[in-house]
Amino acid sequence: MIAALVNKGQSRQAIALLFNELQKTGLKITDFIFSPILRACGKITAVKEGEQVHCLILKHGFSRDVIIMTSVIDMYSKCSAINDAYHVFGEMPERDIVATNSLIYGLCRCHFTSKAIEMFNNMDERNKGSWNSLISGLAQNSKESIALAFFERMRLEGAKVDVITMVSVLSICAELAALINGTKIHGLVIKYGFEFYLPVGNAIVDMYAKCGSMENACLCFKQLAIKNVVSWTTLIVSYGKHGQGVEALKALDAMERDGVTPNKITFLGTLYACSHAGLVQEGWRIFNKMVYNYSITPIMEHYTCMVDLLARAGCLSEAYNFIEKMPIKPDARLLTAFLSSCCSFMNVELARNVGDRLLELEPEEAGAYMLLSNFYGLVGDLERVANVRRLMLKRGIRKQKAHTWVEIDKKVHRFESGDRSHPLSKQIYSCLHNVVNKMKKIGYVPNTSMVMQNVDDGRKEEMVLSHSEKLAIGLALISTAPGTRITIVKNLRVCVDCHVATALISKIEGREIVARDATRFHHFRDGYCSCRNHW
């Protein structure tokens, strides 16, 4: 009963069954009960209940059982009680590789990556689980480059890789948009004979799409011998990220013809694709199909996509009415999406209304403050700019740092705005100054409206020039052959000036530039972007 409840996702009921029912019966508690109940505590981060289960384990004499104590370590790690996990590990009279692997992954989960690496390096014996725990754990802590280095070390030391290894490493390449590394890993997948494993095939499709190569993603998708809901959803989401809304809709139709039932994530990806392609009527059709044809109850993310779809298309009143009629209260992400479009269409009244609601709902979200501050700056309401900035200072809100990375010769280079730490920094800035001079001759005027510092125009232009995405492009221009495609990734939404500048650079330098930001892909060719300025 307890195991069944846990497997069905009813962890709270499983825990209640143990403490409220089983112990009252007087039946002897055996070792089989502890693994599922500890898994239940870990799933819902019920650390207090987990501690009580730990006490039961000690009381009934199972403290020497390596399997059970490993489950205790895993439970504490998932509850972010890493000190307790570490203590249990230290008290174990016998430890096997599985217990050590569990603690390594737990340390990574709790962001103690240096300690995890130290423990890994001190292991007398390692198995593929040891490598997988560290590699996936590092990736989850945004240490993808270090994770790739450990994968290389894994291969050099002759350790066996498995499906989990390949999926993890392909996912890392996808997040970094490291196409060269990803292509190499794809080759290793074929070499090791993993290309027929569906999770690996799905990861390959996702990797190519996130690296900006939809051509290869579609080709690999077609070569999948079996396509499940994950396969189709990956393709649909990828089309959406690349702004190919019509292709996403065609893929959904093909999925249904293939007899694969779409789920809520599939519909979310399709709605997202409609939103970023301005397909309002199609978006309504998909939303209604999800609700009435498939009886899927919309979640907040679906409502957010619909609001974003309507608002991006300029239907602000319709979007506002949609929000008011929603059966659930809007969250910060939905209101932020709506606010962004209010700012884009310069609707001051709605922007102020939604902005005030957003700051009340999510007082610690830096993005909302920056969006409002920049908008008020654009409309010349300097008093409200000052008020928002003072509120940020009072609440201790800090703006999230923007950074952009680019892969050059299998190495990933990361930049922040104003960065001068790169060894080729002088050459990068010199290249950018030359390019900007060429751009100005064909009408480029730097957009410094977002620079709020009280400095002269020349300094503002220099600050805009040193945005992280421009620095990444600059490095690619001086490091790759003319005509080579450039792919960059930014952790936040690309700014207006960088969008204009990148389009002009693609024309002047004769390069295709692919830029992936937090929202979508932008494909720049000959002075134009695939998003048609709809992002």
pLDDT digits (tens, 9 = 90+) for 298-349: 999 999 999 999 999 999 999 999 999 999 999 888 998 898 888 888 888 8
Percent over 90 (pLDDT), the chain: 69
SS (H, E, C) 245-299: HHHHHHHHHHHHHCCCCCCHHHHHHHHHHHHCCCCHHHHHHHHHHHHHHCCCCCC
pLDDT band, residue 378 (cuts 50/70/90): confident
Q: What tens digit of pLDDT does each residue of 170-208 get?
A: 999 999 999 999 999 999 999 999 999 999 999 999 999
Q: What tens digit of pLDDT does each residue of 132-149 get?
A: 999 999 999 989 999 999
Q: How does DSSP assign 340-358, residue by residue?
A: HHHHHTT-HHHHHHHHHHH
Instruction: Tell the residue number behind the tokens 């077609």, with chain if given.
Output: 222
Q: What tens digit of pLDDT does each residue of 451-509 get?
A: 656 677 788 889 999 999 999 999 999 999 999 999 999 998 888 899 999 999 999 99
The Cα 381–Cα 374 span in angstroms is 10
pLDDT at 534: 65
**368: pLDDT strictly greater than 90:** no
Residues forming beta bridges with residue 413, ordered by sequence position: 406
Write out the two tokens for 226: 């079996």
Residues forming beta bridges with residue 405, ordered by sequence position: 414, 489
CA-based nearest residue to 522, from 166, 242, 129, 184? 242
pLDDT, the chain, mean: 91
pLDDT at 349: 87
Residues forming beta bridges with residue 521, ordered by sequence position: 516
pLDDT band, residue 150 (cuts 50/70/90): very high
pLDDT at 397: 75
Q: Is the CB of residue 352 less than 8 Å from the CB of residue 359?
A: no
Contacts of 524 (CB under 8 A, 6+ apart): 502, 503, 505, 506, 512, 513, 514, 515, 530
pLDDT at 118: 96
21: helix, strand or coil: helix
Longest CA–CA span in the chain (Å) reads 87
The Cα 366–Cα 120 span in angstroms is 37
Pairing of strands 486-490, 403-408: antiparallel
Q: Is the CB of residue 373 less than 8 Å from the CB of residue 402?
A: no
**522: pLDDT strictly greater than 90:** yes
Q: Is the CB of residue 263 less than 8 Å from the CB of residue 297?
A: no
Q: Is the CB of residue 161 less than 8 Å from the CB of residue 149?
A: no
Q: What tens digit of pLDDT does each residue of 24-81 get?
A: 777 777 788 898 999 999 999 999 999 999 998 998 889 889 999 999 999 999 999 9
pLDDT at 342: 87
CA 292-298-304 angle, 5° bins = 125
The Cα 73–Cα 71 span in angstroms is 5
**398: pLDDT strictly greater than 80:** no
**290: pLDDT strictly greater than 90:** yes
The Cα 493–Cα 510 span in angstroms is 24
pLDDT at 352: 85
Q: Is the CB of residue 45 less than 8 Å from the CB of residue 80?
A: yes
User: How much is the pTM?
Assistant: 0.84
The Cα 57–Cα 237 span in angstroms is 45
The Cα 180–Cα 529 span in angstroms is 24
pLDDT band, residue 518 (cuts 50/70/90): confident
455: helix, strand or coil: coil
Length of the chain: 535
